[in-house]
Amino acid sequence: MTQETQNPTSAPQLDRADSRVRHDAGLAGAMRGFVDQIKSGDLGMLPVVLGLLLISVVFTTLNPVFLAPNNLVNLLFDAAAVGLIALGVICVLLLGEIDLSIGSMSGLGSAMTGVLWVNSGVPLPIAIIAVMLTGACVGLLFGFLRNKFEMPSFVATLAGLLALLGLQLYILGPTGSINMPFTSPLVRFGQILIMPAWLSYIAAIVPGVLLLLGAMRTNQQRSAANLSSGGLSVAVVKAAVLTAALLFAVFYLEQGRGVPWMFGVFVMFVVILNYALVRTKWGRSMFAVGGNAEAARRSGINVQSIRLSAFVVCSTFAALGGVFAAARLASASQQAGTGDVNLNAIAAAVIGGTSLFGGRGSAWSALLGVLVIMAISNGLTLLNLSSSLRYMITGAVLAIAVIVDSLARRSRASHGRA
């Protein structure tokens, strides 16, 4: 009689022991991998998360109102318009390009909304579609200039900034501003409308569930291909932490007015763009062209069409951001899109983790980055500091983000992970 026959429970015991070893190795391996990733300069979104925590601590110490639920709700309302513009900027930054006309494009979008909808009586949905189509046409022009004449995007979009600003002033006419009805759906969307609590809680649970289902699907696919598949312990921990954080955030905001629909729509666009960048051929081509355009061309990617699409997406989101800004302010004026709009949108993308050198970034960069920018702006406003100090501090934060990006890129290159 063999030993296995004498001790029939030994095999299950060994299986359970082996499972526990894999479970521990999974968590420990994930921690070691995370530490190695940080050491090699692949910081991901760690700096922006730490920055948000630091900003919260500093401003709450100086003024406890900063973390009041209703103040955070107002912050989310303000973040949506700039966040949409930053979302488009990410596409051109991924290619190592730049668009300096986004502020003027958003201002023109705001002005067109007022002129078409309020002055001309065009139905609001048609007016918004016209604004977005105008943004797409402007993006096509920038992409054409870049592809056909090799005009640097810095120069092309700088010229576009001036031309779009002039067009904005022209269509607004001598009055310079157009007020929008406070009882209209657009203004209510930008100032009042809040998501139902039940929907907010469901939205907070969905990301964790999708993360876990994605990990399970990956394990099944690897097992079907006879490849080693790790345990789900790491995915379970990530999903649990993410779900707990989002549920607490919703619970805290519900102590005030709740989660704004305006911010919810912005997050929806973030999810859509993230899926496009991560799960589609177009998204993979974006990263390839940003990493090395010549290598991408030699591998069969149409670099010019990818570049063209990036400028189209950027300008379209900028125009839609102008509509959101008009909804928030209940007006379209000559000041729309001017001031610190360009700075805030580009800063949000870079602070969120998108590299100015191309090839690295995420749609989530716009979400996290705009929260940092709006938190700084909101906190400084609560402290009654002048706009001059706000500009200087925001500029300093942007400079620090670029320095961190440059140092991280150098570290990745030295570790062979550039």
Render 174-186 in DSSP notation, one character per residue: TT-EEE--TTSHH
pLDDT of 100 strictly over 90: yes
- pTM more than 0.85: yes
CA 205 – CA 167 distance, rounded (Å): 45
CA 221 – CA 201 distance, rounded (Å): 31
pLDDT of 395 strictly over 50: yes
Question: Over the stretch 272-287, which tens digit does the pLDDT of each residue have?
Answer: 999 999 999 999 999 9
Highest mean pLDDT among 19-28, 173-182, 287-296: 287-296
The yes/no answer on whether domain 50-193+283-405 falls in CATH 1.10.3470 is: yes
Q: Residue 265: its pLDDT value, please?
A: 96
Q: Among residues 248, 138, 262, which one has the least CA distance to residue 193? A: 262
**DSSP 8-state assignment for residue 119:** I
Q: Are 222 and 205 in contact (CB under 8 A)?
A: no
Confidence band for 176, pLDDT divided at 50, 70 and 90: confident
Confidence band for 385, pLDDT divided at 50, 70 and 90: confident
pLDDT of 151 strictly over 60: yes
Q: Among residues 51, 75, 71, which one has the least CA distance to residue 263? A: 75
Tell me the C-alpha to C-alpha distance, in Å, between residue 386 and each of 377, 383, 389, 391, 393: 11, 9, 6, 9, 11
What's the whole-number average pLDDT of the chain?
86
Question: Over the stretch 318-340, which tens digit does the pLDDT of each residue have?
Answer: 999 999 999 999 999 999 888 78
Q: Residue 23: its pLDDT value, please?
A: 44
Detail the DSSP E strand segments found in 51-199. 177-179
Chain Cα centroid distance, residue 86 = 7
Q: Residue 343: its pLDDT value, please?
A: 85
Confidence band for 27, pLDDT divided at 50, 70 and 90: low
For residue 248, the tally of other CB atoms under 10 A from its CB is 11
Confidence band for 357, pLDDT divided at 50, 70 and 90: confident
**Where is pLDDT greater, at 220 or 295?**
295
Angle at 364 between CA 358 and CA 367, to 5 degrees: 115
Question: Over the stretch 207-226, which tens digit does the pLDDT of each residue have?
Answer: 999 888 888 888 888 888 87
Average pLDDT over residues 378-392: 83
**Where is pLDDT greater, at 110 or 236?**
110
In the chain, % helix, strand, coil (3-state, to 5) comes to: 75, 0, 20
The b/e string for 133-161 (b: 16+ C-beta within 10 A; e otherwise) is: ebbbebbebbbbbbeeeeeebeebbeebb
